[in-house]
Structure 1
Amino acid sequence: MDIFKELIKKLTPHFKSLGFSKKGNSFQLEHDKNYGIINFQKSRESTKDVLKFTINFGVYSNVLGQLEYAYNNLSKPEIEQCQWSSRVGAFMANNPDYWWIINSTDDLNTNTADVIDNIQNIIIPEINKRLADEGLINSWLNENNAGTTEIGRFKYLTTLLKVKGDFNALHNIIETFMQQMKGKPNAKLAIEHLKEIDLTYQS
C-alpha cells in the first residue's frame, strides 16, 4: 500500500466538499482568478512502511502573476508560484517545522482526521484571509508572516497598491522601505522594480 496515495485519496472528498479541485498532490480553490493552494509535501526520508510529510499552502494573485510572468497562461498555478506561501508549522504553537509521520500499521483514518483538523483550524482560515488581493495587501501591511522575502513583500505590496490606486499607503511603504534598505542590495532592486511599474523614487 502506498500510504501517501491513500492519504490523498481519503482527503480528496473533504477538499471537494469545500470547493477545492485536485491537481497532483495539491488542492486548489479559485476565487476571482486568484487561487488558494494546499500542497502535501512527501519527505525524502519516507519509506514504503513509513510516510513523513508536511503541508505547504499559499495564495496566488492573478494581478501579480500576469505582471510577474509577463503572460497569463497559468490556468492553475503551482504552490511555487504563490506570491504568499507558508508551511503549516509556522502557525502552530512555537512555530515548529511540523511533519506528520504515519506507519503502515497505523490507523489512517485517525491520521486523516488530525490532518483535516489542522486544515480546518489553521490552513483554511489563513488562506481565506488572503484569497482576495485586499487580503494580501492587509496581510503584507499588518502581519509578521510575510510569506515571501523582504524584497518580494515590497514588490508585491507596491504593485497591488498602485493597481488599487492607494497612493498614500504606496508612498509610505516606499519611503519606509528605502530608508531601511539604504546602502543595502535590496535598495537597488527596489528602485529597479519601481521603474518597472512606472514609479520613481527621489531619495
Structure 2
Amino acid sequence: MEDVLKQIIKDDIPPLFKAKGFKKKGNHFAKIFPDFAWVVNIQISKWNSKEDVEFTFNTGIFTDKLYGPFYKEDPPKFPTEDNSVLKIRISELKNEPETWYKIGLSSNLDAIKREVQSDLQNVVFPYFEKFQTIEDVIQEMKRKEEQGWYECPHFLTILCNSYGYNNEANK
C-alpha cells in the first residue's frame, strides 16, 4: 500500500495544487505571495503498515518575517508548514474530529481520490482564499487571539511591527 500512497502523492495530488499556482517540494506545497505563502504538508501516518496507510493535510501561512526576530536563522528556501502561523489541519477546517485518508487492501481508490480532490477544492483552497494580503493574515491572527487561540504570542507582535503597525505591536 505504500507504493499506492506514493503514486497518489506523486501523480494525483500535485495537479490539483499546480492548477492553483502552488509549487511542490517533497510532501510540501506552497503558493508564494510577496509577503507570505499558503502552505500545505501531506502528513503520512507513522503507524502505516504494509496493508494499511493513512495521510492527512496540514495547512499554514508562512512568512519569512519571523526569521531573525524569532527564529534566529535564515528562512528556508522553500516555505513549509512547520514554522508557519495559523496552522490548521484539514479535520479542523472540516469541523471533524480527525480526517485521515485511509488506504487498505479493500479500499476503493477512486473514491479516496475523489474525496481528496473534493476536500482540497471545497475546503482547503477556499480557506486560503481569505488570505489575499498580509493584512488579512494579521487580522485573522488578531481574531484568533481574541478567541483565546494562541500559537505563539510573539508572532503577531513581530508581524505587526514588521509591517508598521507599531501601536498594534505595542499592545
Say yes or no: TM over 0.5. Answer: yes
- 1:183-194 to structure 2, matched below 5 A, reads none
- Gapped regions of structure 1 (runs ≥ 5): 175-203
Q: Per residue, is there more helix in 1 or in 2?
A: 1
Q: Highest CA radius of gyration, 1 or 2?
A: 1
Aligned-pair CA distance for 1:66: 4.3
Question: Structure 1 residues 160-169 or 48-57, which shifts more?
Answer: 160-169
Shift in Å, 1:92: 1.8
- Bigger shift: 76-85 or 161-170? 161-170
Q: Cα offset for 1:30?
A: 0.9
Report the CA distance between 1:137 and its aligned residue.
Answer: 0.7
- Provide the identity percentage: 25
Alignment match, 1:178:
none
Shift of 1:145: 8.4
SS of 1:79's partner is coil
Cross-structure match for 1:130:
131
Alpha carbons 1:59, 1:131 under 8 Å: kept: no
Say if 2:171 is the partner of 1:169.
no
Q: Note the C-alpha offset of 1:123.
A: 1.4
How well do the aligned residues superpose, as a CA RMSD in angstroms?
A: 2.2
Kindly provide the amino acid, as one letter, of the partner of residue 86 in structure 1.
I
Partner of 2:66 in structure 1?
Answer: 64
Q: 1:133 to 1:158 in 2, by over 3 A?
A: same
1:155 maps to 2:154: yes
1:76 to 78, 86, 89: 78
- The DSSP-based 3-state class of the residue aligned with 1:67 is coil
Relative contact order higher in (CA < 8 Å, ≥ 6 apart) = 2
Offset of residue 132 of structure 1: 3.4
Distance 1:119 1:68, change over 3 A: same
Q: Which moved more, 1:52-61 or 1:154-163?
A: 154-163
Does structure 1 residue 40 correspond to structure 2 residue 42? yes
Q: 1:181 corresponds to which residue? A: none
Under a length normalisation based on structure 1, what TM-score does the superposition of the two structures give? 0.72
Length-normalised TM-score, structure 2: 0.84
Distance in 1, matches of 2:35 and 2:116, equals 27
**Shift of residue 165, structure 1, vs aligned partner:** 2.5
Counterpart secondary structure, 1:130: coil
